[in-house]
Amino acid sequence: MSSSSAIPAPAAQPLLTAFQLGQLLRAARKQRGLTQAKVAARLGLSQNRVSHLEAHADELSVRQLLTWCAVVGLELSLAQRSVIAPEAAGSQARGSAGTSPPEG
């Protein structure tokens, strides 16, 4: 059995809040051994701004998010949200304000 030096791909994980996104971006950056300054240089931002965006991912533009994902080795995918029980939906809604699409 041969060993591989590649980092195993993590399983896809649902993100329901901007906070979770920021945590994932930070973890992926650290796993790749990248500093905030290195990510900032590739995004055309300051290190201070990268630090801020890791804590406030709701302020990321789509372009910044896609570039950041490429820099840290993530792939962005969207999928239909699974149907969840009404009582679980209420508890998730409190922790993810503004994440539901408008009814229509």
The count of other CB atoms within 10 Å of the CB of residue 86 is: 6
What confidence score (pLDDT) does residue 79 get?
A: 86
The single-letter code of the amino acid at 87 is E
What is the Cα–Cα distance from 26 to 35, expressed in whole angstroms?
Answer: 10
How do residues 47-100 score in pLDDT, each as one tens digit? 999 999 999 999 999 999 999 999 999 999 988 887 766 665 555 544 444 444
Give me 18's structure tokens. 């901007």
The count of other CB atoms within 10 Å of the CB of residue 40 is: 19
How do residues 3-44 score in pLDDT, each as one tens digit? 445 555 567 778 889 999 999 999 999 999 999 999 999 999
**C-alpha separations of 45 from 14, 35, 53, 76, 83 in Å:** 27, 13, 10, 21, 38
What confidence score (pLDDT) does residue 85 get?
A: 61
What is the Cα–Cα distance from 76 to 19, expressed in whole angstroms?
Answer: 16
- Domains defined along the chain, listed by start: 18-75 (1.10.260.40)
Give me 56's structure tokens. 């406030």
What confidence score (pLDDT) does residue 14 get?
A: 84
